[in-house]
């Protein structure tokens, strides 16, 4: 009978909605879930079949979307992990903002009893409790890229990464030099609430301190070209006379450059952070002045190295420094060949 009335009242959802709930949704859910699990389950079993694997090393990142650095890092960790005979597993929180999602995922990794974890915290504070859980579960963790809040050294083996504040500061110093210690600059920030981004900009400001270079405008580009372009366009309207621009990351350069060319501003000194191949291309094309390089390959392989050493010999932990700075350097037109070798 219902089916008849299904057709009787196909016109208006509202009218039909005032009715009880039935078992159907749960059924559908069950099917969908089982379907999902089974056919993704295949994936898993194959992963396990890569026999002779000494265990699984998981890497937890915020996202690899539009982020060559994170991708390079992931690739490096994967390569090193597999070369050392372990199975690689990548979990990404997907969204730029999914702080708690990442924590949940790490918890799930612990529940899954992975052998070791390489973690790029989206928030230095948020990961502290889960790191505690990992320690209690006896799963060693290495932190990469962005640091954990001060005072929790005991929760992880070591931190391997770029000192973002330092990178920013170097950029600032370079800017002062390039502008001959005078002039106005714009700053395109990362997403609001992004620690790495904030550190870079803070560092940049530090680098400008005491110089004749002052910041005329500073707006968030949300790590996205379209947003970066819009804020740059607008800031350029307010400041006809800027000579320099600092971008918190290479990932926003395209948008920024479009804004500049639309406003046909030439000869503006652009310094960015990352050292991705994209930036290096722009460098070669003379579109930007320079970018503060990070070294994801180095970070990735170092991290896995240390992690494995501890997995295979607990005591090794003591001999490892708590912070390993993978360093930074300015890529500019002067060291293009160097850059081309190092870039990611």
Partner 1 sequence: MGQRVGRILFSLLGVAALAAAGLLVPHFLTPANLLNVVRQSSIIGIGAVGMTMVIVILGIDLSIAGLIALCPMVSGLLMLQGVPIVISIVAGIIAGIGMGLFNGLMVAKLDVPPFITTLVVGQVSQGLALIMNNGRSIGGFPASYVHIGNGSFLGIPVSDLLLLVMMGIGIFITQFTPTGNRIYALGGNETVVRQEGINVDGLKLFVYAFSGFCASIAGILLSAQLDTVHPIQGDPYLLDTIAACVIGGVSLAGGEGRVAMAVGGALIIGSVRNVLDLLGVHPFFQNVLVGTIIILVVFGSGLSRYRRTVPV
Partner 2 sequence: MRGIIQHALKNGSAVILVLLVLVGIVFVRNFASVDNAAVIVRQSAIPAIAVLGMTMVLMIGGIDLSLGFVVGLASTATGFMAKVWGLPVDLTVAATVLIGALVGLVNGAIIQYMKVPSFITTLGTGYILYGISQLVSAGNVITRLPPSLLAVGRTDLLGLPTSVYIAVGIIALGWFLIHRSVFGRALSAFGFNSRAAFLSGLSTARVNVLTYVLCSSLAALAGLLLTIRVNAAQPNMGGGVFTFEIITAAIVGGTSLFGGVGSVIGSLFGVLIIKVIENCINLMNISYHLYLAVQGGIILTVIVMDKIRSRAA
Partner 3 sequence: MDEPLLEMHEITKYIYDSSGRPIRNSDVKILDSVSFDLHKGEVHVLVGENGAGKSTLMKILGGIIPPDQGTITLEGAAVSFASAREARDRGVAFIHQELNLCANLDVAHNIFLGREPTRGGVLDKKKLYAQARALLSSLGFEIDPMVILGRLTTAHQQIVEIAKALSYESKILIMDEPTASLSKNEIDRLFSLMRTLQARGIGIVYISHRFEELRQVGDRISVLRDGRSIGTICSQGFLEDEVIQMMVGRSIDDMYPRSHRPTDDVLLAVENLRLLPGTPPLSLTVHRGEVVGISGLVGSGRTELLKTIFGARRLLSGRIVYNGSKINGWRPGRLVRAGMAYLSEDRKTEGLIIAMTIRENVTLASLFRLFRFGMISQRKESEAARKRVQQLRIVARSVEQTVGTLSGGNQQRTVFAKWRAAEPQLLLLDEPTRGIDVGAKSQIYKMIDEIAAQGLGVLMVSSELPELIGMSDRIYVMRGGTLVAELTEREAMTQAGILAHILIGARN
Contact positions toward partner 2, by CB under 8 A?
A: 10-13, 15-17, 63-67, 71, 94, 189, 192, 216-220, 224-226, 229-231, 233-235, 237-238, 240, 251, 254-255, 258, 262-263, 278
Q: Which of 2, 8, 39, 51 binds partner 3 (CB under 8 A)?
A: 8
Beta strands 323-325 and 290-293: pairing type?
A: unpaired
Nearer to partner 2, 70 or 170 (CB): 70
For residue 339, which phi and psi values (nearest 5 degrees)? Answer: -60, -45
Torsion sign, CA atoms 239, 66, 126, 304: negative
Instruction: Name the one range near partner 3 by CB under 8 A: 5-13, 46-54, 205-213, 255-263.
Output: 5-13
271 neighbors 175 (Cβ within 8 angstroms): yes
Residues between 98 and 117 with contacts to partner 1, criterion CB under 8 A: 98-101, 103-105, 107-109, 111-113
Nearer to partner 2, 81 or 276 (CB): 276
Q: What is the largest CA-CA distance in the chain?
A: 84
CA distance 247 to 225: 11
Residues between 16 and 75 with contacts to partner 1, criterion CB under 8 A: 16-34, 36-38, 40-41, 43-44, 47
Minimum Å gap between C-beta 332 and partner 2 is 21
Check residue 177 for interaction with partner 1 (CB under 8 A).
Answer: no
Torsion sign, CA atoms 108, 110, 113, 116: positive
Show the binding pattern over residues 6-25: x = contacts partner 1 (CB under 8 A), - = does not: x-xx---xx-xxxxxxxxxx
Residues between 10 and 69 with contacts to partner 3, criterion CB under 8 A: 11, 18-20
185 neighbors 243 (Cβ within 8 angstroms): yes
Residues between 116 and 135 with contacts to partner 1, criterion CB under 8 A: 123-129
Residues in binding contact with partner 1, number by CB under 8 A: 71
CA distance 186 to 331: 20
Compute CA distances 56 → 46, 116, 238, 305, whole Å: 13, 7, 53, 14
């Amino acid at each position: 009978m219902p089916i008849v009335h299904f057709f009787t009242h196909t016109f208006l959802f509202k009218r039909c909605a005032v009715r009880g709930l039935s078992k159907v949704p749960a059924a559908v859910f069950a099917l969908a879930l089982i379907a999902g699990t089974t056919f993704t389950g295949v994936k898993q079993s194959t992963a396990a079949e890569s026999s002779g694997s000494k265990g699984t090393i998981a890497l937890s990142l915020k996202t690899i979307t539009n982020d060559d650095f994170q991708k390079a890092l992931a690739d490096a960790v994967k390569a090193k992990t597999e070369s050392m005979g372990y199975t690689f597993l990548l979990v990404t929180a997907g969204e730029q903002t999914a702080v708690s999602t990442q924590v949940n995922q790490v918890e799930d990794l612990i529940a899954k009893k992975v052998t070791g974890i390489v973690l790029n915290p989206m928030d230095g504070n948020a990961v502290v409790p889960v790191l505690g859980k990992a320690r209690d579960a006896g799963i060693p963790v290495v932190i990469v890229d962005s640091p954990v809040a001060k005072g929790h050294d005991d929760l992880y083996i070591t931190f391997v990464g770029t000192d973002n504040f330092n990178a920013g500061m170097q950029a600032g110093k370079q800017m002062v030099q390039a502008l001959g210690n005078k002039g106005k600059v714009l700053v395109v920030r990362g997403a609001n609430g992004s620690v790495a981004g904030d550190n870079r900009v803070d560092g940049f400001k530090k680098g400008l301190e005491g110089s004749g270079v002052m910041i005329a405008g500073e707006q968030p580009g949300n790590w996205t070209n379209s947003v970066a372009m819009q804020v740059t366009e607008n800031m350029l309207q307010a400041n006809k006379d800027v000579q320099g621009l600092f971008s918190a990351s290479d990932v926003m350069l395209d948008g920024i450059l479009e804004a500049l060319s639309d406003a046909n501003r030439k000869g503006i000194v652009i310094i960015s952070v990352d050292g991705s191949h994209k930036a290096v291309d722009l460098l070669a094309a003379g579109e930007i002045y320079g970018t503060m390089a990070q070294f994801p390959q180095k970070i990735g392989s170092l991290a896995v190295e240390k992690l494995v050493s501890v997995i295979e010999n607990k005591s090794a932990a003591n001999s490892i420094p708590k912070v390993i700075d993978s360093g930074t350097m300015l890529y500019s037109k002067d060291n293009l060949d160097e850059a081309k070798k190092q870039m990611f």
